[in-house]
Amino acid sequence: MPVLSERGVQMPASPIRKLVPFAEAAKKKGKKVYHLNIGQPDIRTPELSLAAIHAYSEKVIEYSHSAGNESYRKKLAKYYQNIGIQVDHSQIMITTGGSEAILFAMLATMNPGDEVIVPEPYYTNYHGFAVEAGVQVVPITSSIENGFALPKIEDFEKVITSRTKAIIICNPNNPTGYLYSKDELLELKELVLKHNLFIFADEVYREFVYDGNKHISVLQMEGLEQNAVLIDSVSKRYSMCGVRTGALITRNSDVYNTVLKFGQARLSPPSLGQVAGEAAIETPDSYFNEVYQEYINRRNFVIGALNKIDGVYAPMPKGAFYTIIKLPVKNAEHFCQWLLEDFDYQNETVMLAPASGFYATEGLGTDEARIAYVLNIEDLGNAVKCLEEALKVYPGRK
């Protein structure tokens, strides 16, 4: 029998999606499943994007330029300029989702065996992209006790080696909802410059920052012109995850030109996705004001409700629409599977993402789960009630 590649064997299963077969089986039994496991908002996609797709009249859906349509990149450049990020369209590459941008950044800047430092818990697919690129993830642990603030710079210093090439941050953070402060980013800047590293900043949740806090981009920080690579996406900003359109932005021309070669190898980003993305840039402020308030309401509701459950702790997120919660269970992955296989409350149950899959350090996150508050408040209330009732009867409670 032919043997699989080591890369394929090492590729991690997604903690966000690995329990999907159990959810599907639950639905076949007639149970209603509330999906808090995945960042798929129920927020409507902007009408401008939907209208642009419906109005598409070309007779052939052609390849675009490998860097993306110039008209789209020029509009994106203006979008960034309007929020204080001074870039030109020639520094923007459209990608197949933010995912491809992260992978291309790794491929362009790191060799097999090189190391990338990532504060954990982190977006689990960073690990998957690192495996694809032959790169080693080196975790620095943050703690639920302080809301998953940036670990101490000394912790980063301890693990930097001759193989260290980059640091990845997600700001605001998926899966924790933490927003890095200006002081934290300045500390990272000094570290990056001291050791001549790249910094990859996943900023796809930029619009979702709460409580009067302000998002600061790595591309707004003087001195990082040659070190910073910004990762972006339309998926969450405009609630159109399925169009698979993202962007990689950098002022480092060597990085950009190298990334473009990878882009040429995959030919072009999605043509219809770019149609939707370009139209979305004209989305009025009224849309974002409504969406922003909706997420504030959902966050306040779900965090308040979760913290009323005996044994559950949920820190207050400063951004995005996720939180990592601590559960009074011995094994959260078993609990999450049990919720789908063996439990229902009034024929309903809830799907969570076990948090251990968001850590690289063995043994961490075993009593934690990620929740995405992407459902309306009524559904969130029903989901939290299911969780409360489940914990009353779960045999693996601690």
Spatial neighbors of 344 by CB under 8 A, at least 6 apart, are: 26, 31, 386
Calpha distance 326→356 (Å, rounded)? 11
What would the pLDDT profile of 200-247 be if each residue is shown by its tens digit?
A: 999 999 999 999 999 999 999 999 999 999 999 999 999 999 999 999
Structural domains in the chain? Answer: 6-44+286-393 (3.90.1150.10), 47-280 (3.40.640.10)
CB 314 within 8 A of CB 327: no
Spatial neighbors of 112 by CB under 8 A, at least 6 apart, are: 133, 134, 135
Crossing angle (nearest 10°) for helices 377-393 and 285-306 = 20
CB 206 within 8 A of CB 236: no
User: Which two structure tokens, joined as six digits, stand for 237?
Assistant: 């900003």
CB 289 within 8 A of CB 9: no
Q: What is the mean pLDDT of residues 141-158?
A: 96
User: What is the Cα 56 distance to its own chain's centre?
Assistant: 30
What would the pLDDT profile of 238-292 be if each residue is shown by its tens digit?
A: 999 999 999 999 999 999 999 999 999 999 999 999 999 999 999 999 999 999 9
